[in-house]
Amino acid sequence: MKPFCWMLVGLPGVGKSTYINDRIRERTIKYAVLSSDFYIEREARMQGKTYNVVFKDTVDWAQKQFFRDVTHAIDQNENIIIDRTNLTVKSRAKILNLFSSDLCDYRKAAVVFQCSEALHFRRIVSRPDKIIPLQVMESMKYSFEMPTEAEGFDSITIIDCDKQEDFSV
């Protein structure tokens, strides 16, 4: 059976990581969850600071680590869950291009997380150590492009977070 890559897509705070922690981790399938935020959050913990404080100084390094991890997971034929915003065709293409080798045969799925403004706001304010400025969030909302199979996905699933009653922060 082919390994899979699920690319999570959605604004910060819509529940991508929570979905993995609450729903996916209970499955018996082995997979790697890959995220640049992992490195930023780890660095913040090591320094005793918040995500926001270390973000600017660590984001470039974290991105490099993330792409190294994806390449390694592909080389190992691991199932992969990409936990990032992945809002634009361009940002997704940088990752999907890593799967373009003739030796790389993955089932690739986009998993799009959407929620109402009210739920999104509640989730964002529940993360006081990970604050995204309003103008940045608005820019991210504006830049969102719905994934398509033409990008290289085998399937696209939309998760309506408002309907996931047992899936709340």
As a whole number, mean pLDDT of residues 18-45 equals: 86
Tens of pLDDT along 39-71? Answer: 999 999 999 998 889 999 999 999 999 999 999
Cα gap 134→4, rounded to integer Å:
35
Predicted confidence at residue 169, as pLDDT, reads 30
Answer yes or no: are the C-beta atoms of 145 and 88 closer than 8 Å. Answer: yes
Residue 159 DSSP one-character state: E
Beta-strand relationship, 80-83 and 4-9: parallel
Residue 156 DSSP one-character state: E
Predicted confidence at residue 25, as pLDDT, reads 65
Beta carbons within 10 angstroms of residue 60's beta carbon: 10
Q: What is the band of 164 on the pLDDT scale with cuts at 50, 70, 90?
A: low
CATH superfamily of 4-162: P-loop containing nucleotide triphosphate hydrolases (3.40.50.300)
135 dihedral zone (left: phi>0; alpha: psi -120 to 50; beta): alpha
Helical residues (DSSP H) of 29-169, grouped into ranges: 36-47, 51-75, 89-96, 117-125, 134-143
Beta-strand relationship, 32-34 and 80-83: parallel
pTM over 0.95: no
**Tokens, residue 50:** 């918040």
Predicted confidence at residue 114, as pLDDT, reads 92
Query: Where are the chain's structural domains?
Result: 4-162
Helices 36-47 & 51-75 angle (0-180, nearest 10): 140
Tens of pLDDT along 103-149? Answer: 788 999 999 999 888 888 888 887 777 777 778 888 999 999 999 99
Average pLDDT, the chain: 88
